[in-house]
Structure 1
Amino acid sequence: MAQLRFKALELANNRPRIRVDVQGKISDFFRQDVFGLKEMQAILSPEAFKKIKQAIDEGSKVDAETADAVASAAKTWALGKGATHFTHWFQPLTGSTAEKHDTFFDAMTGMERFKGSALVQQEPDASSFPSGGIRSTFEARGYTAWDPSSPMFIYGVTLCIPTVFVSYNGEALDNKAPLLKAVEAVDKAATQVCQMFDRKVTRVKASLGCEQEYFVIDKALYASRPDLVMAGRTVFGHNPARGQQLDDHYFGSIPPRIYDFMKEFEIEALKLGIPVSTRHNEVAPSQFEVAPLFEDINVASDHNQLLMDIMSKVAERHSLKVLFHEKPFAGLNGTGKHNNWSLITDTGVNLFQPSTSARENLLFLIFFVNTIKAVYEHADLLRGSVASAGNDHRLGANEAPPAIMSVFIGSQLTAVLDELEKKGNIKVEKGDNMYMKLGIDKIPSIIQDNTDRNRTSPFAFTGNKFEFRAVGGSENSASSMTVLNLIVADQLTQFYDAVQKEMKKGAEKRMAIVSILRKYIKESKAIRFEGDGYSDGWKNEAEKRGLSNISDTPRALDAYLSKKSREIFVKHQVLTDRELEARNEIRWESYIMKIQIESRVMGDLALNHIVPTAIAYQNKLIENANGLKGLNINNKEVVKTIETISGYIETLKREVYNMTEERKRLNKLTDSREKAIGYCDDVKGKYFDKIRYAVDKLELMVDDEDWPLVKYREMLFLR
């Protein structure tokens, strides 16, 4: 194994650089592999184009004739691009995307064919995808159905058609279908509120920008670490003397090999219409970030899934490996997916954008306060939406926010809400002091960029949007965005009904709005926190405020099945009771399997790699000690080292054996939640840290030339 390590290092250190140059302007190739509205309009008849645009903009159904026209146009366009196959591209509950490729070529006619029926619907085998008990293993039928709101694209030589994935009986088996329903719910609720001020508003779109963090290491170093290959993270590895403490990697000069890799995956992403705009080094060595511009939330979510796939495939061409796991290296920053979310009307108004307009600022405060209230009311559900085995390692560590849900709004907006709560007035400083009555005379200006940034906050207002920072780097954003849009939709619905009730009693509209906002501000005040989320003081304060601090996934998932959560999912027709229960079964089972894999990897590496290496080194020391006896030289330090190594070896053997026995006991359990909690508490909680501590101590004691695993200092400083 040590030989494998040094061969991998030699290979990694002698990689040739694969230079990548952008040919021409980005505008020359942006979206060149996307079959969007522009491409449809150029090929479809005006009548067919009008219908498909209505389907995209308004969610109306696509009739068979229009589907045939779109299919024919898509086939012509795709064949002209060199495509040979088509696929329904969907997002099952496995954590990745899925696709089954079918050829355009029809052997019976000797021609390429593509009917509307094939565009609209396909039938993948649903029995092999997670269903949480909705489907039995012998019940294979499931359907993928075209989502016209997300454009088709060519990936390689395949026309990819974004779709939803449902069971034979119509239950959602993917991440996209619930997101589309939640987005529809927030559109309906937000539009209703906006029309109290502007009847021209007919739609409100949820917007999303996903900042994606990731690590990159050499492919050979990755392949020489069984834990990375099997579990996606290093279960062992002592921190190097130099990690991220100097902060010298952050925003530093991008290493040449990584720079070439970035350029190539950005080119491929831009061809597919993914508007990547920012690249930079992150804080930890070998950690980086890519960020796109904002898009409609459904498209942005699809694009993030596609981007991760592009990055992984391009990395292979550069002999690199991209790591999206939330905590691939202990003691270093974790990997998040910062979801920047806002709501935008079809008249072009960002509802989270402060303005100089009195009416727009009242509208801003409505959506601002209602979002905070929604997070307060459903904090546990929002926490559950980002729960995963990987994210449990990250939340609360280094740059990641804690597991306690809170909202950061900054000092100026805090003052605005405090003043409104107490007096119905607002005091804003902009040049001269201004003091105006809110909702009676006019609304004072609230200046954009009125907040600092708080990296320890899981949900922060950042000027004209909210940033949900707790989402894990490997996770599908659709899950957390479904919850966020759903809870805001429900809160806005309650707000609208409350205003209408007050107005029916005779209250003037603005006075009714202000009165309800003051009530909401007071009720949700506990969720607002402006300080250091890492501090022990915040944990104590959060407990006093009644905020939950759920640190593990098995228990965090309980929020999905609470009475409150069930009611809003069913009320807005996002998920049924049965679907909610099934999804929790899937999540618990996924957690169990991931901890099982990690425990098996730990046991294998400890017993089959670390212990033999440590024993061989111990025997070498014993031989040296015996030689020292003949020379009558003091060998107390050598003996002490031997005893210490022996102690760690025995610890490893004992703890791995105990962990195996505990795993056998837990595997007999039939209740998924109980089993997941057992793996969390009695396997991960009791043994992972003990086993790792012993191995990492041995790494410091065994001769470097004998150590079998590539070390952190060798993986993380790729240049």
Structure 2
Amino acid sequence: MEIFGLNVFNDALMRKSLPKNVYKSLRNTIDKGLALDPSVAEVVANAMKDWAIERGATHFTHWFQPMTGATAEKHDSFISPTADGKVIMEFSGKELIKGEPDASSFPSGGLRNTFEARGYTAWDCTSPAFLKEEGGTVTLCIPTAFWSYTGEALDKKTPLLRSMEALSKQAMRILRLFGNETSTRVITTVGPEQEYFLIDKKFYEKRLDLILTGRTLYGAMPPKGQELEDHYFGSIKERVAAFMKELNTELWKLGILAKTQHNEVAPGQFEIAPIFSSTNIATDHNQLVMDVMKKVAVRHGLVCLLHEKPFAGVNGSGKHNNWSMATDDGQNLLEPGHTPHENAQFLTFLCAVVKAVDDYAELLRVAASNPGNDHRLGANEAPPAIISIFLGDQLSDIFDQLGNGGLKSSKQGGTITVGVTTLPALSKDSTDRNRTSPFAFTGNKFEFRMVPSSLSIAGPNFVLNTIVAEVLDQIADRLEKAIDFEGELQELLREIARKHSRIIFDGNNYAEEWVEEAERRGLPNIKSLVEALPYLISEKSVQLFEKHHILSKVELHSRYEIVLEQYCKHINIEAQTMIDMAKRQIIPAAVKYVTSLATSVAAVKNASALADTSVQEGILNEASALLASLKQKLNHLEAATAQAKAMDDLYEKSVFYRDGVFKAMNDLRPDADKLETIVDAELWPMPTYAQMLFML
């Protein structure tokens, strides 16, 4: 309790340090979206500065989220010169509100030329400022949005903030139709569950692939993987528990509601989950979670891996995005209640989400795409690439009733007893969970389970907010014109249930039969980032985002260019790393081993013509054959990489990286992994899977 929010300029601190009129004005900006008074900013800046200096800060930074996927910050000190050759500590309202980083050095997708450097960061007062303690220094961090000189969004926060306003506007129209006159705003909330791996730092430092790409490009499966299912929810090792303890302390100081921690399915894999908060703050907090995890891990001699698939053959990592909508006076709009079939308002919002996901499934698939997730989606650890919705027994039954013309009942869960008198009877939920579904209703929220572990949640959530806002807009337009509201509402919900039932699937998403069934239903099966990305700039998407003032056509095309370019660079780095490791580590180690075998065979035969050298010769022949095959495939990868780099058209290049370079990488790896199982362990140049996954 003493440390929670210690490093946050939160509401309690603002109430204490700001004059009442200034505090009230700032709260009106935060809570009601009113314009910020510049004079208020001046007072707030001074209070922030005094607090930060008291805590040991000497610098401040505008903390923003460019299209790199990471966060960015430029530090400026509080010092200002005085006439007598000394300094005073100052921080103005202008410095709080506006910063000016170099826009040309961040990805812009052609929005900015190299010589056009000016960009702006603008204070996002809806997300509280905080202090970062690093290396004995303290820095005041001010969350900001990032724009180009010409006004286009160059970051992930701006479209998120716009989408939150768009959804609130349309949701309030629905609430007013249902007679709600007290709520003034609808807030989307998110609780992102974060999966990650930990490995010993000494192993990480000997793996060039992990250092440069975040995943292992080579590695034979160990004798034991996750097949015994003994790591999931298992006892947490002392070293990991110590890491988690410090991690929680650092996150709580930043006001991050870290709640749950446990071992995940794969060895060396773990999860941390927060209590939900507003989407904007949850996004900022998740960026901080990833940053703090990496730094705390190093202090414990560990390295935190956030790649979606750092180890082939075991489960990868995702980020389950638990999303809901709530009014500013505390009503969860996705709370079904005990009799959801009688809750018309809930059913309206539920049907809006179902229709939005069906109408814009391709966009949601884009939002869950990055190079690492191409390895993860569809395996027995993550949802498939087909977007579908799990509603569960109760709501699926209600949805069927809606489509068939009338609502009569809601299935109830009842109780569970296990026949042991000392154990209590437990209330049973009205529906089971489905861990294979990409978009599952889980009681009073939807869990978007496709999101990659290393990705900012800003993208998935601004897409989700926008598509739901669009459907709510459609519903409100129709209901506001209705003469018979109740009758029109019933007809509208019936139409949605009938037309969009194809997106509802409560079965096993891993089954081959589902792939065939989804195709019959007309659901898209988009298997890679490269295949998904063109949907971002389709006419349908441009119309959607421009209508709700989220992103312009130019801004959408810039993001399309940025993501494609990053994809090509990412695969190229992986390919070049594979080549380097093969040439400088794997082949030399294998040659040494083959040479030692050949020397052994010659020495034994020289000592005794009758000696049996079949074992040495067998291994020698096998290793030599693998070496020859490895070198041939290495040549092919080098040629494919050179061909890709020479291509001009960005989309064609990305397709070739996926189908040509990536395939050559996959062809190369098996020979190297097989050699790992043959070559003397003392000669093998890098830590093995068994060491990295089990030696914590």
| TM superposition score normalised by structure 2 | 0.95
SS in 2 for 1:425: coil
Q: Does 1:371 align with 2:353?
A: yes
In structure 1, the partner of 2:485 is 509
Alignment partner for residue 171 of structure 1, among 138, 141, 152? 152
Q: Which amino acid aligns with 1:407?
A: I
In structure 2, the partner of 1:428 is 410
Q: Does 1:666 align with 2:648?
A: no
Distance 1:578 1:270, change over 3 A: same
In structure 2, the partner of 1:56 is 30
Q: Does 1:330 align with 2:312?
A: yes
Alignment partner for residue 67 of structure 1, among 41, 60, 70? 41
SS in 2 for 1:486: helix
SS in 2 for 1:520: helix
Q: Which amino acid aligns with 1:402?
A: P
Q: Distance in 2 between matches of 1:94 and 1:358?
A: 43
Q: Distance in 1 between matches of 2:585 and 2:190?
A: 45
Distance 1:232 1:660, change over 3 A: same
Q: Does 1:463 align with 2:458?
A: no
In structure 1, the partner of 2:635 is 657
What are the superposed Cα offsets for residues 561-601 of structure 1, whole Å, 9 maximum, x if unpaired?
Answer: 11111111000000000000000100001100110010011
Q: Equivalent pairs: percent with the same residue?
A: 47
Q: Which amino acid aligns with 1:165?
A: F
What are the superposed Cα offsets for residues 364-418 of structure 1, whole Å, 9 maximum, x if unpaired?
Answer: 1111111011000000110011111111111112311111111111122111111
What are the superposed Cα offsets for residues 264-307 of structure 1, whole Å, 9 maximum, x if unpaired?
Answer: 01101001100001110001111000000010110000000011
Determine if contact 2:383/2:510 at 8 Å carries over to the other structure: yes
In structure 1, the partner of 2:324 is 342
Q: Which amino acid aligns with 1:450?
A: S
Determine if contact 2:231/2:263 at 8 Å carries over to the other structure: yes
Q: Which amino acid aligns with 2:125?
A: P
Determine if contact 1:448/1:463 at 8 Å carries over to the other structure: no
SS in 1 for 2:694: coil
Q: How does 1:202-601 map to 2 (within 5 A)?
A: 202-356=184-338, 361-430=343-412, 449-501=429-481, 503=482, 506=483, 508-601=484-577
Q: Does 1:31 align with 2:2?
A: no
Distance 1:328 1:430, change over 3 A: closer
SS in 1 for 2:343: helix
What are the superposed Cα offsets for residues 202-246 of structure 1, whole Å, 9 maximum, x if unpaired?
Answer: 111000001000000111110110000010000011111111111
Distance 1:176 1:431, change over 3 A: closer
Q: Distance in 1 between matches of 2:652 and 2:378?
A: 25
Q: Which amino acid aligns with 2:201?
A: K
Cα RMSD after superposing both structures: 1.5
Distance 1:430 1:600, change over 3 A: closer
Q: Which amino acid aligns with 1:679?
A: Y
Distance 1:89 1:522, change over 3 A: same
What are the superposed Cα offsets for residues 119-168 of structure 1, whole Å, 9 maximum, x if unpaired?
Answer: 00010011110000000011100000000000001112111000000000
Distance 1:51 1:497, change over 3 A: same
In structure 2, the partner of 1:79 is 53
Q: Distance in 2 between matches of 1:537 and 1:74?
A: 59
SS in 2 for 1:154: strand
How many pairs does the alignment contain? 674
Q: Which amino acid aligns with 1:235?
A: L
In structure 1, the partner of 2:126 is 149
How far off is 1:531 after superposition?
1.4
SS in 2 for 1:206: strand
What are the superposed Cα offsets for residues 476-497 of structure 1, whole Å, 9 maximum, x if unpaired?
Answer: 0001111011100001111111
Q: Distance in 2 between matches of 1:172 and 1:428?
A: 46
Distance 1:313 1:303, change over 3 A: same
How far off is 1:430 after superposition?
4.2
How far off is 1:171 after superposition?
0.4
SS in 1 for 2:517: helix
What are the superposed Cα offsets for residues 3-31 of structure 1, whole Å, 9 maximum, x if unpaired?
Answer: xxxxxxxxxxxxxxxxxxxxxxxx11110
What are the superposed Cα offsets for residues 528-565 of structure 1, whole Å, 9 maximum, x if unpaired?
Answer: 11111112111111111111111111111111011111
Q: Which amino acid aligns with 1:614?
A: A
Determine if contact 1:55/1:62 at 8 Å carries over to the other structure: yes
In structure 1, the partner of 2:78 is 104
How far off is 1:44 after superposition?
1.4
Q: Which amino acid aligns with 1:67?
A: A
Alignment partner for residue 162 of structure 2, among 172, 178, 181? 181
Determine if contact 2:97/2:122 at 8 Å carries over to the other structure: yes
Q: Distance in 2 between matches of 1:184 and 1:600?
A: 44
Determine if contact 2:644/2:661 at 8 Å carries over to the other structure: no
Which structure 2 segments of 5+ residues have no match? 415-426
Q: Which amino acid aligns with 1:490?
A: E
Q: Distance in 2 between matches of 1:295 and 1:566?
A: 29
Q: Does 1:131 align with 2:108?
A: yes
Determine if contact 1:208/1:340 at 8 Å carries over to the other structure: yes
Q: Distance in 2 between matches of 1:693 and 1:359?
A: 55
In structure 1, the partner of 2:625 is 647
Alignment partner for residue 699 of structure 1, among 676, 687, 696? 676
Determine if contact 1:276/1:293 at 8 Å carries over to the other structure: yes
How far off is 1:448 after superposition?
9.4
SS in 2 for 1:208: strand
What are the superposed Cα offsets for residues 495-540 of structure 1, whole Å, 9 maximum, x if unpaired?
Answer: 1112234x1xx3x212211111111111111111111111211111
Which structure 1 segments of 5+ residues have no match? 1-26, 433-446
Q: Does 1:675 align with 2:649?
A: no
Determine if contact 2:367/2:460 at 8 Å carries over to the other structure: yes
SS in 1 for 2:574: helix
Determine if contact 1:648/1:694 at 8 Å carries over to the other structure: yes
Q: Does 1:711 align with 2:688?
A: yes
What are the superposed Cα offsets for residues 340-363 of structure 1, whole Å, 9 maximum, x if unpaired?
Answer: 000001231111111147798211
Determine if contact 2:413/2:428 at 8 Å carries over to the other structure: no
Q: Does 1:195 align with 2:169?
A: no
Alignment partner for residue 603 of structure 2, among 627, 630, 636? 627
Q: Distance in 2 between matches of 1:65 and 1:234?
A: 53
Moved more, 419-428 or 604-613: 419-428
